[in-house]
Amino acid sequence: MKQTPLKRKTPLRHSSPKKAVTIKASVRRLKQGRSTGRPTAEQERRFEHIKAIGCIACLMDGIRIVLPTEVHHLNQGGFHGGKRRGHDFTIGLCGWHHQGHPPFAGTIQQAEKFFGPSYKLQKMAFRGKYGSDDALLTLQNQLIAIRELACTSN
């Protein structure tokens, strides 16, 4: 079968870049950040207490190595990627227990052997060893209350 090129009956329109489709500024702005807004001053104090107390999982294991503590926001239903419950539902975890970043340039297997399971990498094992999100939150709130009493008594 012979194939001949199709001939265009109408000429192509040349559009200038100025006539390109533009998106209105109000439509272009998407919500930035997470599902929780900016923390209040009281919630910021909570974060400071959490960072000063340290990783709750390391405390439960009796590990005395001081690692930088990250504030972990608990989610509704306890599912990864779910909507956050808010700034009042936070616990302190080190980089390993929170994000699975091995400290001291070790491997993941070495970190798991020494520090235990990571929340990000082994969620079921983490919950089996340290308890549910609500149990960890209760313990964190108790530790914060003790620290606040100690700070106010001085």
What pLDDT shows up at residue 21?
Answer: 57
Cβ burial of 117 (10 Å; 0-12, 13-18, 19+) is buried
Indicate the pairing of strand 90-94 with strand 69-73. Answer: antiparallel
CATH fold, domain 41-153, is Herpes Virus-1 (3.30.40)
* Domain spans in the chain, listed from the N-terminal domain onward: 41-153
What pLDDT shows up at residue 61?
Answer: 93
Residue 149's CB is within 10 A of a number of other CB atoms, namely: 9
Closest CA to 119 of 133, 105, 137: 133
SS3 of residue 71 by DSSP: strand
51 vs 69: CA distance, rounded Å: 5
Give me the tens of pLDDT residue by residue for the chain, a chain 154 residues long.
Answer: 677 777 777 777 776 666 555 656 555 554 555 567 888 999 999 999 999 999 999 999 998 888 899 999 998 877 777 788 889 999 999 999 999 999 887 899 999 999 999 999 999 999 999 999 999 999 999 999 999 988 887 6
Residue 30's CB is within 10 A of a number of other CB atoms, namely: 5
